[in-house]
Structure 1
């Protein structure tokens, strides 16, 4: 089992049991204590767990920020389908903003074949994907670099964004539900998203099914401010209906 898959299994175990001891995790995953300790140290560095004597406890709470590197390992096929549906909305001559997030790079890859479009982004990974794409005018948004999201935020970012009118805004999400709408754990990321929404004609949230029902520290936008959500077919039908009832279209892929 590869390290990313093993750490995902550790996270699932901790979600169910709240804490996990190295000896128990060794038995569950059939690996050495050294391997488990190394995994827990990496996950602690990502803010996912807190190390305790003999093991680790999962970090819960609305302000927990899961690193982008970890999120990029989750549901890759679902994110690829979501990205393809988002890219299909974009036509020649459109302006597009791609937000930071684990699905952002997939959307950028899906847009590479488009011609005569302008893409703005504050995502370093998105900029790298599109830097060699012919037919795409790429604008990198400045700001203070945030390693957790591998992108730029802050006053310089929001001031720059306000110069533009955007046709399609593709937003990432940490959590999305009917009660609070789109939520994220980080204040600077939330403020950037709020400004982007004000500058955009079509606001699309690209989120895999694991994000639906989630609730985080900062409220970015209520459902009436979001035109559509693109998610995968693994989404809970009840959550999908609640979002639709709030006036937001949901596309299942």
Structure 2
């Protein structure tokens, strides 16, 4: 019997099981304890989900956690970089054009935010804060006065750094601009992501910034991760590469946020 592909992962599964699969597709592996904390259930409950998903061929069980079966490949950072590179470049250039010289800016993790980082190369005297090793590498080669890297444990192939102390460290900054990526949208247009620690860092940066800019390409419009990053009215701008669906477009308009199609 052939194991299901990623396109098969929807039918006959509970919402929590679908979210478990999405998390593991993104991360490659997750411990039972981490999943239990994300979903606020016991490890025994998660273990039962993992056993069920393993029997159906969606996951492979390991000691203390679960990962992808051999026939499924995690969509890693390099693969994500190859998805819509020209669109991400346009988004990056458009978002960077909104930021004046001399501003203090937080840069989130992810390939679209990295495109913004590259587009900031012609800016001067920016003060930059990031928890992305890859953004830090990009901007450290540019002519900016200050680059602050929020440390922690390296988490995943996107070069993100997370720690329990990171949100508090970010809240010490008074930021002019905040560039935030997302992995999908809720039915009411709210931007969503998968990982609790990354979401906590995004939210801390948003609360510390005067002007928040969401960046996401069209591939995120119909994805539905598990966790809310922030409310729509926390963002002043949303930069994307295609006119969003009506439910996203109308929600941002109602919240008074601008949508710019690069």
Q: What per-residue deviation string (whole Å, max 9, x for no partner) do you get for residues 133-159 of structure 1?
A: 123421111122212431112222112
Give the equivalent residue in structure 2 for 1:167: 176
Structure 2 residue aligned with 1:199, among 181, 203, 208? Answer: 208
Q: What is the CA–CA distance in structure 2 between the aligned matches of 1:248 and 1:72, rounded to whole Å?
A: 27
Q: What per-residue deviation string (whole Å, max 9, x for no partner) do you get for residues 166-213 of structure 1?
A: 111000101124626121110001111111111000011110011124
Matched, 1:69 2:78: yes
Contact persistence 1:96–1:120 (CA under 8 A): yes
Name the Cα RMSD after superposition. Answer: 3.0
Runs of 5+ in structure 1 lacking a partner? 1-10, 20-42, 59-63
Runs of 5+ in structure 2 lacking a partner? 11-24, 30-52, 60-67, 69-73
What is the CA-CA distance between 1:214 and the residue it aligns to?
2.7
Instruction: Tell me how many residue pairs correspond in the alignment.
Output: 210
Q: What is the CA–CA distance in structure 2 between the aligned matches of 1:224 and 1:183, rounded to whole Å?
A: 14
Q: What is the CA–CA distance in structure 1 between the aligned matches of 2:245 and 2:27, rounded to whole Å?
A: 31
Contact persistence 1:169–1:200 (CA under 8 A): yes
Structure 2 residue aligned with 1:93, among 102, 105, 124? Answer: 102
Give the equivalent residue in structure 1 for 2:156: 147
Give the equivalent residue in structure 1 for 2:196: 187
Partner SS state of residue 149, structure 1: coil
Contact persistence 1:180–1:215 (CA under 8 A): no
Give the equivalent residue in structure 2 for 1:23: none
Partner SS state of residue 233, structure 1: coil
Map residues 209-248 of structure 1 onto 2, 5 A cutoff: 209-233=218-242, 235-236=244-245, 239-248=248-257
Q: What is the CA–CA distance in structure 1 between the aligned matches of 2:257 and 2:187, rounded to whole Å?
A: 10
TM (norm. structure 2) is 0.70
Q: What is the CA–CA distance in structure 1 between the aligned matches of 2:139 and 2:123, rounded to whole Å?
A: 11
Give the equivalent residue in structure 2 for 1:130: 139
Q: What is the CA–CA distance in structure 2 between the aligned matches of 1:14 and 1:188, rounded to whole Å?
A: 25
What is the CA-CA distance between 1:67 and the residue it aligns to?
3.8
Partner SS state of residue 165, structure 2: helix
What is the CA-CA distance between 1:129 and the residue it aligns to?
0.9
Partner SS state of residue 134, structure 1: coil
Q: What per-residue deviation string (whole Å, max 9, x for no partner) do you get for residues 96-126 of structure 1?
A: 1110012121111100111111111111111
What is the CA-CA distance between 1:52 and the residue it aligns to?
8.8
Contact persistence 2:27–2:156 (CA under 8 A): no
